[in-house]
Amino acid sequence: MHQIEMTVNGQVMRAEVPAETTLLSVLREAWGLTGSKLGCDVGDCGACTVLVDGLSVNACLLLAVQVDGQEVLTIEGIGGFDYLHPIQAAFERLSSIQCGFCAPGIVISAKALIDKNPHPTEQEIREALAGNLCRCTGYTKIIEGIAEACRIPAGTDGSA
Ligand code: FES
Ligand code: FES
């Protein structure tokens, strides 16, 4: 067993885990942060996307011990019923999401993009979501929602 400690959504969290425990497992099962979803469990779907030290990662592919001492941001840390992140608010306004299973990962991937590139082109948004699968929407409203959150018109390349 391994003692781990990391800062999750601004709060120091600790657990004792076997070496093979994934970051996703410890988030969901030890700490009750079930917003990050278990989809494929092999790095294909992006439903488990979280930020580790500001970088978007698939939490199903990382071992919890690899993240020891680092900062993790999950969907629970960027918005809630009382305060929606601008990406979430845009998704709500545009009805971008259907079943919602992909949404936490997509919001996190979009946040990672906007944090480093506040005015992405539509192509850059599409590239940022390349690792996030959505079975319901066809992506159009999701792309539009992220573009709206950045206040750029979707369907343009973002240039003047
Ligand atoms: S559950 Fe992690 S990528 Fe699908
Ligand atoms: S809204 Fe259902 S998987 Fe994306």
Task: Return averaged pLDDT per consecutive 10 residues of the chain, 160 residues in all.
Answer: 96 97 98 98 97 96 98 94 91 96 97 94 96 96 95 55
For the beta sheet containing 71-73, the strands, ordered from the edge strand earlier in sequence to the opposite edge, are 11-17, 2-8, 71-73, 49-52, 55-58
**Gap from CA of 3 to ligand 1 centroid (Å):** 24
Note the pLDDT of residue 90: 96
Q: Note the ligand closest to the C-alpha atom of 62.
A: 1
**Gap from CA of 36 to ligand 1 centroid (Å):** 9
Note the pLDDT of residue 157: 52
Note the pLDDT of residue 34: 97
Sign of CA dihedral 75, 73, 22, 48: positive
Note the pLDDT of residue 160: 40
Q: Which residue's C-alpha comes closest to atom 2 of ligand 2? A: 99
The pair of structure tokens assigned to 28 is 């969901």
Q: Which domains does the chain have, with CATH numbers?
A: 2-75 (3.10.20.30), 86-149 (1.10.150.120)
Q: Note the ligand closest to the C-alpha atom of 47.
A: 1
